[in-house]
Amino acid sequence: MLKGYGGGRAAHASGVRERPQPRVSAGPAGSNRGWRLLGLAGVLLYAAYGRGGIERFRQESVAEYLRQLESLRERDILVGVAPHSVRACPRAWLEDLARYAERESLPLHVHADEQPREIEECVAEYGLRPVELLADCGCLGPRTTVVHATHADAHELDLIAEAGARVCLCLTTEANLGDGFAPVEQLCERGIGICIGSDSNVRIDPLEELRELEGIARRRTGRRNVVSPDSLLCFGADEGAASLGLEGWGEIEIDLEHPSLLGVDPADVFPALVFGCSADVLA
């Protein structure tokens, strides 16, 4: 499951919509043959590269990419369409991949607005900012997840909200690369679904991603509790599943005997989980 962590229902920040309780309690499960071996529900977001990146990962054409994707589907692997970015996929690729994802009812994930240079190059080539280009190519919709959106402007965020798309924040990678601060409050104000991902192998810890998300929101607003622990856990689980198009998934077990949670009052487990634990308390 590249970019996202687990999940099932929609959840948004405090004051935007009523939220379900996060499904974090007991029993890992998987949703297809490959991921069941690991006890995970997962979707393979297969990246399309028309240019740039590492040569051995590039495809010569959209047709070649779709042949590779269809081969995975024939092996009963759940997949999503993933044009890497507006840098890696020319406009024609984005249009073709958007049509395919729509026709096949598949999730579509794409990086956008991660770094200022990317935006400058997109404007120079197309006269549009990255999310504007995605909208123009038909890539924005309710099954779309825009990865990063760190430097998305107000108009781009409005486009994401109007399309019913989500944003996947990869906080530890964005910090490691010096990309900037995620626009957490602006996303929440617009009711945009937020999920989290790692984007790299520097750290694989969903709780650390959630802490960083709230930490950024606090530093940008100058106040605490911008996003509640319940909402953060929904971002980490339910929104992740919705982003991947998973309709069913197992619950997550918390090790209440872990030293980080010993003596914690049951009413405080969720806040303690988000703000005081690492992923080794989850099963």
pLDDT band at 37 (very low <50, low <70, confident <90, very high): low
Query: Exactly one of 96, 113, 199, 238 is catalytic; which is it?
Result: 199
* Residue 31 exposure: Cα atoms within 13 Å on the Cβ side: 20
> What mean pLDDT do residues 159-186 have?
97
Please confirm, yes or no, whether 136 is among the known catalytic residues.
Answer: no
What pLDDT does residue 1 have? Answer: 30
Q: Residue 227 above 70 pLDDT?
A: yes
In a domain, 75, yes or no: yes
Strand order through the sheet with 193-196: 44-48, 79-83, 108-112, 144-148, 166-169, 193-196
In a domain, 1, yes or no: no
In a domain, 17, yes or no: no
Query: Exactly one of 148, 151, 205, 230 is catalytic; which is it?
Result: 148
pLDDT band at 209 (very low <50, low <70, confident <90, very high): very high
In a domain, 21, yes or no: no
Our count of domains for the chain comes to: 1
The domain spanning residue 220 has which CATH number? 3.20.20.140
What pLDDT does residue 42 have? Answer: 84
pLDDT band at 30 (very low <50, low <70, confident <90, very high): very low
pLDDT band at 160 (very low <50, low <70, confident <90, very high): very high
**Rounded to whole angstroms, how far apart are CA atoms 75 and 86?**
29
Please confirm, yes or no, whether 199 is among the known catalytic residues.
Answer: yes
pLDDT band at 252 (very low <50, low <70, confident <90, very high): confident
Neighbours of 75 (CB within 10 A): 11
> What mean pLDDT do residues 173-197 have?
96
Report the run of H or E that residue 144 belongs to, with start and end.
strand 144-148
**Rounded to whole angstroms, how far apart are CA atoms 30 and 3?**
17
The answer to whether residues 195 and 22 touch, using CB atoms and an 8 Å cutoff, is no
> What mean pLDDT do residues 211-218 have?
96
The answer to whether residues 220 and 188 touch, using CB atoms and an 8 Å cutoff, is no
In a domain, 70, yes or no: yes
Query: What range does the domain containing 241 cover?
Result: 33-281
pLDDT, tens digit, 9 for 90 and up, residues 71-99: 999 999 999 999 999 999 999 999 999 99
In a domain, 6, yes or no: no
